[in-house]
Amino acid sequence: MNTDSRDAFEQLEKSLDELIKVYRGVLNVVRQEREILISTQLEALNENNVSKEKMLLKARQLEDERQKIARDLAQSEGLPENTKLLDFAKHFGGEAGERLRSRQSVLELLLRRVREHNAQNEKLVNSALENITGAIGSIRNQLRDKPTYRKSGGITAPPAESGQLVSKEV
């Protein structure tokens, strides 16, 4: 490995380490989000969402930086521009290759866990929205005018809904 390649390789490792730190933070935030959703703390949920957005933005920036470093490393090693981490690991072999494989597997595991937790949180949110929509519909039905008398003066059969409010004057 020449000097340019060695520098680019070290930058790539540092970039991967930063990505790992950020995705660990994202995983923690997504786990906290579940607890917040269950406890229905709206203020905490808003703060958590802001934190998650900042971390995801940081992850995107780091990923762009990592891709640039990887292109530079590939160019200095005479590899194709779109060389993947595992291809670099095979190319360099030995301890350097093993370090890349290790970081790649950690990132893959973190991303899988973030997706799993995010999917669970999405189910919680959708369930809560269904409950709220049902409650709003029920309230709307209760507040809608329900005439007891027809225009012809005849009495209509009471609606077959439970929980109808009845007023009785003395």
pLDDT for position 151: 60
Q: pLDDT grade, residue 150 (50/70/90)?
A: low
**How many CB atoms are located within 10 Å of the residue 83 CB?**
17
Assess whether pLDDT exceeds 90 at residue 164.
no
pLDDT for position 55: 94
Element of type H or E holding 65: helix 42-77
Assess whether pLDDT exceeds 60 at residue 19.
yes
- pTM: predicted TM-score of the whole model, two decimal places: 0.74
Q: What is the Cα–Cα distance from 165 to 158, expressed in whole angstroms?
A: 12
pLDDT for position 167: 52
Of 90, 94, 100, 120, the C-alpha closest to 20 is 100
